[in-house]
Amino acid sequence: MKKTLKKIVYFLLFTFLLCCILPYLFPLSSLNLATIIEKNPTKKWGNIDDILLHYQYLPTKNKTKKGNILLVHGFSGSTFSWRKNTDSLQNNGYDVIMVDLPCFGLSDRTKMKNHSPDERAKLLIRFLKKYFPDNQQYILFGHSMGASVVLAMAQQMPDAVTKVFLVDGAELRFGKKTWGTYFALMAISFPPVERWIAVIAEYFFYTPSYFQNILDSAYQQKASLEAAEGYLFPFKIEGTTQAILRSFRYARNKNETDDFSNHKANIYMIWGRKDTWVPIKNAENFIKKYPKTQLFTFEDAGHNPMETHHKEFNQLIIKLLNQ
């Protein structure tokens, strides 16, 4: 009996060690962010507390400047998400700033420690003050996860934000962790588990066809190969999967609040009624707390109306901006 038990223990120990070693035998992407920066001297990166933020500054094409707009993408997105909207904003008198949040797009994968909406908002505010010191006021756009960031920005600098546009996204606040959540976070904190997830993701899921399927669900219509490759490219950068996993562990707000009563901005919500990722119920719940919020919907749109219905989206935005 003791010999059998000992064999079982040895077998389990061997299996455990094998599982810990095996994922490191699979090579992962070697596309380095530093190499991208070196090969793209015309692109812009800001440095805030040693955190590199990729951004684009697109000045107005109009003789008369009407204001400054900041565009913040959602989860797994980047500045690419707003590619169909910037020309319209520039042509109508607005300077446009787009930025990739840490872990996403072409921004830093390693340095950001706390990825809560509040901390991301503080980072973007420091970024704006450093690189655009002459701008006194902003109009903020946040898509999906980015909506929680721009709402936090409006709360933290109420005198500097005049309007906030939430595109298929409301505030994101994390409640109390369950035992299941603690277990999941502990599991992905273990380096071999993190490595296994990265290996599985890169070898099975980071493909144009898979990303097309994801976008089909988000768009609620067929996505183009161009869109799939645009969303896929940042995931090929070394350390992306690991960075996103680590961001889950540090995504809680210190104050644990969802109160945005301090803001002074007009809030507009724009939603696709076919959105299955962040259902319109989220917008309705938000409006119950903040009844002055205005909601506008696109009947046939999914989670990304600024892409799938960009003409109608741009027309609506310009109308609301001119009010």
* Domain ranges within the chain, ordered by starting residue: 33-321
Three-state DSSP state, 34:
helix
Task: Determine the average pLDDT of the residues in 83-93.
Answer: 97
Joined tokens for residue 81: 């998400």
Q: How far apart (Å, rounded) are the C-alpha atoms in residues 224 and 238?
A: 25
Neighbouring C-beta atoms of residue 316, cutoff 10 Å: 17
Q: What is the CATH number of domain 33-321?
A: 3.40.50.1820
Closest CA to 153 of 97, 113, 105: 97
Residue 223 contacts residue 212 (beta carbons within 8 Å) = yes
> Residue 257's pLDDT band (boundaries 50, 70, 90)?
very low
pLDDT, position 198 = 95
Which residues does 284 contact at the CB level (< 8 Å), separation at least 6? 295
Q: What is the pLDDT of residues 122-145, one digit of tens each?
A: 999 999 999 999 999 999 999 999
Q: Would you give the distance in Å from CA 204 to the centre of its chain?
A: 22
Quote the mean pLDDT of the chain: 90
pLDDT at 291 over 60: yes
Neighbouring C-beta atoms of residue 28, cutoff 10 Å: 19
DSSP 237: B
E strands present in the chain? 44-48, 51-58, 67-72, 94-99, 138-143, 161-167, 266-272, 294-298
Residue 233 corresponds to which amino acid?
F
Task: Determine the average pLDDT of the residues in 145-172.
Answer: 91
Query: Phi and psi (nearest 5°) for 120?
Result: -65, -40
Percent of the chain topping pLDDT 70:
92
Residue 91 contacts residue 137 (beta carbons within 8 Å) = no
pLDDT, position 255 = 45
- Which position has the higher pLDDT, 240 or 170? 240
Element (H, E) at 36: helix 33-39
pLDDT, position 137 = 96
- Which position has the higher pLDDT, 190 or 97? 97
pLDDT, position 112 = 81
- pTM across the whole model: 0.92
Q: How far apart (Å, rounded) are the C-alpha atoms in residues 136 and 157?
A: 11
Q: What is the pLDDT of residues 3-49, one digit of tens each?
A: 788 888 788 888 889 899 999 999 999 899 999 999 998 899 999 98
Which residues does 98 contact at the CB level (< 8 Å), separation at least 6? 55, 56, 58, 70, 71, 73, 79, 82, 86
Percent of the chain topping pLDDT 90:
74
